[in-house]
């Protein structure tokens, strides 16, 4: 900004020849860069086109859960693993702080990715090929995807999304033959998902083993694995293995008290997670999950089994 007002009549003063030359050069460069940007998009295999639909977080979460239930072939540290058939739709859900599911794809086969967020803005970045997309809640981004190289690819969130942002790493494995699964520890995954036990409207009383299986499904599909690990680690929230029956130090109404982790405590923690905050994890916000009473009972059975 100038310290002095321009001289009167400056607007009508003729522009010098060298200034005109630079203005013309700048205009030509702007037009050339604009045309180049369009050409790079269409022919340069960069910024691939996507189709976008409006949706809701609830609707997409239900679609994603249904898709995983139907196609899951195993678990990878609490994250469902799906092996979609070529030329089919693949649903990928982002939420604090995980990508679900992990994918096993076939080289040189086409897939249609549906990507959305359950909570807030995330960045879908496939590394090391450095493909980057924005993922907003309320939108279904449809991407045509055809892997051409065998290998393991990480899905990184490149938009800061909270305290667990650094742990939000997904997995895409591209194989050419069945033997390739051994390279990634997936050789023991079943090819077809096992049927899950029915409950609720059927009136059937589940066995303890079936309740544990259903609880594991809730743990997997609802995203509990993003914070609550079952391998003993506890970066963001208490690990679930060895948790039931344990004495926990919590904060209630600003005071530290010791509580025993029993069925009532687990129910309270799911329904009103801010009522008692586990000491050491006060800064990790736990959302209220829309679980049915049956879901809660199944989760309790699953936690009990992790001793």
Q: Are both 50-184 and 208-305 of the same fold? A: no
Quickly tell me which residue has 């540290």 as its tokens.
77
What is the share, in percent, of the chain residues with pLDDT greater than 90?
30
Domain ranges of the chain: 50-184, 208-305
Contact 104, 181 (CB under 8 A): yes
**Top-level CATH class of 50-184?**
mainly beta
Work out the angle at residue 74's Cα, subtended by the Cα atoms of residues 68 and 80, and round it to the nearest 5 degrees.
45
Q: At what angle do helices 293-305 and 208-221 cross, to 10 degrees?
A: 100
Residues 6+ apart with CB under 8 A from 252: 275, 276, 277
Q: What is the 3-state secondary structure (H, E, C) of the chain?
A: CCCCCCCCCHHHCCCCHHHHHHHHHHHHHHHHHHHHHHHHHHHCCCCCCEEEEECCHHHHHHHHHHHHHHHEEEEECCEEEECCCCCCEEEEEEECCEEECEEEEECCCCEEEEEEECCCCEEEEEECCCEEEEECECEEEEEEECCCCCEEEEEEECCCCCCCHHHCEEEEEEECCHHHHHHHCCCCCCCCCCCCCCCCCCCCCCCHHHHHHHHHHHHHHCCHHHCCCCCCCCCCCCCCCCCCCCEEEEEECCEEEEEECCHHHHHHHHHCCCCCEECCCCCCCCCCCCCCHHHHHHHHHHHHHCC
Residue 1 has pLDDT above 60, yes or no: no
Q: Which of 41-50, 82-91, 186-195 has the highest mean pLDDT?
A: 82-91
Mean pLDDT, the chain, whole residue set: 85
pLDDT at 191: 53
Residue 94 has pLDDT above 60, yes or no: yes
42: left (phi over 0), alpha (psi -120 to 50) or beta: alpha
Could you please state the CATH topology (level 3) that the domain comprising 208-305 is classified under. Answer: Cytochrome Bc1 Complex; Chain D, domain 2 (1.10.760)
pLDDT at 201: 46
- This prediction's pTM: 0.68
Structure confidence at residue 273 as a pLDDT band (50, 70, 90): confident
Distance separating alpha carbons of residues 206 and 303, to the nearest angstrom: 16
3/79: higher pLDDT: 79
Structure confidence at residue 212 as a pLDDT band (50, 70, 90): confident
- Which region among 19-28, 177-186, 187-196 has the lowest average model confidence (pLDDT)? 187-196
pLDDT at 218: 83
pLDDT at 2: 61
Residue 104 has pLDDT above 50, yes or no: yes
- Beta-sheet pairing, 139-145 with 98-100: unpaired
pLDDT at 45: 61
Distance separating alpha carbons of residues 137 and 159, to the nearest angstrom: 13
pLDDT in tens, 128-174: 888 888 899 999 999 888 999 999 999 999 999 888 888 899 999 99
pLDDT at 113: 93
What is the distance, to the nearest Å, from the Cα of residue 126 to the centroid of all Cα atoms in its chain? 13
């Amino acid at each position: 900004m100038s310290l002095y007002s321009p001289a009167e009549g400056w607007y009508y003063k003729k522009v010098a020849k060298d200034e005109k030359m630079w203005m013309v050069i700048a205009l030509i460069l702007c037009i050339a860069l604009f045309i180049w940007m369009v050409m790079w998009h269409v022919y340069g295999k960069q910024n691939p086109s996507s189709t976008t639909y409006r949706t809701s977080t609830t609707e997409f979460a239900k679609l994603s859960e249904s898709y995983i239930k139907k196609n899951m072939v195993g678990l990878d540290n609490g994250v469902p693993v799906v092996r979609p058939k070529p030329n089919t739709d693949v649903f990928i859900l982002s939420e604090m702080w995980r990508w679900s599911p992990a994918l096993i794809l076939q080289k040189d086969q086409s897939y249609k990715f549906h990507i959305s967020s359950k909570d807030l803005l995330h960045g879908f970045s496939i590394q090391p090929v450095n493909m980057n997309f924005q993922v907003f809640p309320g939108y279904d981004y449809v991407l045509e995807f055809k892997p051409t190289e065998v290998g393991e690819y990480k899905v990184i969130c490149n938009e800061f999304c909270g305290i667990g942002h650094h742990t939000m790493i997904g997995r895409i494995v591209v194989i050419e033959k069945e033997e390739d699964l051994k390279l990634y520890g997936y050789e023991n995954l079943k090819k077809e998902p096992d049927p899950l036990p029915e409950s609720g409207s059927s009136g059937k009383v589940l066995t303890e083993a079936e309740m544990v299986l259903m609880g594991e499904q809730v743990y997997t599909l609802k995203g509990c694995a993003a914070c609550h690990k079952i391998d003993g680690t506890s970066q963001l929230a208490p690990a679930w293995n060895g948790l039931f029956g344990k004495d926990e130090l919590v904060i209630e109404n600003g005071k530290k008290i010791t509580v025993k982790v029993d069925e009532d405590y687990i129910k309270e923690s799911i329904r009103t997670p801010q009522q008692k905050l586990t000491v050491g994890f006060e800064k990790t916000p736990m959302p209220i999950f829309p679980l049915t009473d049956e879901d809660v009972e199944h989760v309790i059975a699953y936690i009990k089994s992790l001793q």
